[in-house]
């Protein structure tokens, strides 16, 4: 797209559309999406996550202990297609249909399955083969394709062509919307054509948190990006900047700050319209975060409850162009292959974002009609002195906010280059005192963390999908430097 005269946004969108075809375990036409974009003059944030069907009342899920993780009752209205349309209309240079050419070719003529995706595909197929439409779409001959095999998806090629020709209308108000709703009806599911037609995006702007001379920007809730901002705000009140990057002190402070942030996010974050009591501004209040920081014991791991602020399967990509436009974009099914539901004859696999709701009465994130669930996918962006410094993301469910903190500190505070930051060992808060760590971490530091009470779960980088995958584009004088995570199929490239 860049060689064809497109800009960074055209490149990002064409890649995102192609990933629907070649990385179906992490995203599809039924995904949601978010984007942070620097247009050369200002920063923009787009929330293109979908809302629940109108029939999703709390009573519909009565008697359950939790929201369904798979099947029709986990799928909310998809937003990714609307993100492509709106971003292209506002910021793109190339014709919308041009962005679909690579994806349509891959779907129509086939692509060779890459090694990591092949492994994830087999894992997903074993779990989802009985779900409506899944085997027909993703298990030709009764099995998942192996790495190196050619996979053709002609129904998906046709759906992509319809979306390209109608500027997305076919998906929300036309032929594809009719097929989605009809398939839902045959399974007594709630999603209707009216639900699809009612979908709308929000130009949400960003929330930010300064640390030293850099500022991390995230999309406001319903996403978890605010957790990264809160953790950074807590870390400002510690000696983290004086620590060595992979020391026990550094990891301990980051882990404890992240646990504090997650305790509040789990209690208070939801669809922005539902956060009427504890607002994002209250969660980011400097006095509140300073108070939370005082709870960190430098020598002992703890389990934290929420504070009282009112009293005081994903893909991600980053691009930059010669004109200075920079894009951080992410789209996702949520769990691998999402809900497992694939609309016959279309190649449309639906996400399972409804699993992000809670059924707890009185919780701001309780399921309700036409409401956005709590979301894990978050694009990241760093500004420095009112200028763009880095577009980045880190896919991986609850790892994402934790990964944003780690990438920000490594690149902005400890001055590691993007590839070094992506390659470095990671930690991941699980629950309670449990923390997953990569086995290639600093052995002495890991031993010290255990002395402090952290219950470490050791995972090898080769097998640890849970540590996510980072993609980073950092601006430097006269150009960019990029990094791509070795834990995923991905690459860094310049033209």
- Tell me the catalytic residues: 314
Q: Which residue has the tokens 């501004």?
A: 281
Beta strands across the sheet bearing 427-431: 427-431, 434-438, 455-459
Give me the phi and psi of 346, to 5 degrees please: -125, -25
Q: Which residues contact 75 (CB under 8 A, 6 or more apart)?
A: 30, 189, 191, 338, 339, 341, 350, 351, 352, 353, 354
> DSSP 3-state assignment of 148?
coil
For residues 453 and 451, give the distance between their C-alpha atoms in angstroms, rounded to a whole number: 5
Give me 327's structure tokens: 């894009």
Q: Which residues contact 216 (CB under 8 A, 6 or more apart)?
A: 208, 209, 228, 229, 232, 380, 381, 382, 404, 408
Q: 48, 201 in Cβ contact below 8 A?
A: yes
Q: 152, 137 in Cβ contact below 8 A?
A: no
Short-list 158, 126, 157, CA closest to 142? 126
For residues 470 and 295, give the distance between their C-alpha atoms in angstroms, rounded to a whole number: 30
Give me 246's structure tokens: 């992979």
């Amino acid at each position: 797209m860049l060689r064809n005269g497109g800009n960074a946004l055209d490149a990002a969108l064409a890649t995102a559309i192609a990933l629907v075809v070649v990385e179906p375990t992490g995203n599809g036409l039924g995904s949601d999406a978010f984007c942070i974009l620097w247009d050369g003059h200002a920063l923009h944030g787009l929330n293109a996550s979908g809302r629940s069907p109108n029939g999703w009342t709390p009573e519909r899920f009565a008697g359950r202990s939790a929201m369904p993780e798979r099947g029709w009752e986990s799928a909310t209205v998809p937003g990714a297609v609307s993100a492509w349309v709106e971003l292209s209309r506002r910021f793109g240079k190339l014709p919308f249909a041009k962005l679909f050419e690579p994806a349509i070719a891959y779907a129509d003529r086939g692509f060779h399955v890459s090694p990591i995706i092949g492994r994830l595909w087999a894992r997903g197929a074993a779990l989802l083969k009985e779900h409506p439409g899944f085997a027909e779409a993703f298990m030709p001959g009764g099995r998942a394709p192996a790495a190196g095999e050619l996979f053709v998806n002609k129904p998906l090629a046709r759906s992509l062509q319809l979306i390209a020709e109608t500027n997305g209308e076919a998906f929300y108000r036309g032929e594809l919307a009719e097929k989605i709703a009809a398939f839902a009806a045959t399974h007594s599911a709630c999603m209707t054509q009216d639900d699809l037609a009612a979908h709308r995006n929000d130009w949400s702007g960003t929330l930010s948190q300064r640390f030293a001379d850099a500022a991390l920007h995230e999309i406001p809730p319903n996403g978890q990006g605010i957790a990264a901002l809160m953790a950074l705000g807590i870390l400002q009140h510690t000696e983290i900047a004086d620590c060595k990057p992979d020391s026990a002190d550094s990891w301990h402070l980051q882990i404890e700050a992240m646990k504090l942030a997650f305790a509040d996010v789990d209690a208070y974050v939801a669809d922005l319209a539902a956060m009427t009591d504890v607002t994002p501004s209250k969660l980011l209040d400097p006095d509140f975060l300073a108070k939370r920081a005082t709870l960190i014991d430098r020598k002992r791991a703890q389990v934290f409850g929420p504070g009282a602020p009112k009293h005081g399967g994903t893909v991600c990509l980053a691009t930059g162009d010669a004109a200075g436009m920079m894009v951080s974009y992410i789209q996702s099914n949520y769990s691998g292959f999402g809900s497992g539901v694939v609309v016959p004859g279309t190649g449309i696999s639906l996400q399972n974002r409804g699993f992000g709701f809670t059924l707890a009465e009185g919780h701001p994130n309780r399921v309700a009609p036409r409401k956005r669930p709590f979301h894990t996918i978050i694009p990241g962006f760093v500004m420095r002195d009112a200028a763009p410094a880095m577009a980045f993301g880190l896919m991986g469910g609850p790892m994402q906010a934790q990964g944003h903190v780690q990438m920000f500190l490594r690149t902005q505070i400890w001055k590691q280059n993007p590839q070094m930051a992506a390659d470095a060992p990671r930690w991941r808060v699980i629950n309670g005192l449990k923390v997953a760590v990569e086995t290639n971490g600093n052995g002495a530091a890991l031993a010290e963390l255990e002395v402090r009470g952290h219950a470490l779960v050791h995972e090898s980088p080769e097998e640890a999908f849970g540590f996510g995958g980072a993609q980073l584009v950092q601006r430097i004088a006269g150009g960019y430097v990029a990094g791509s995570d070795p834990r995923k199929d991905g690459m860094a490239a310049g033209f």
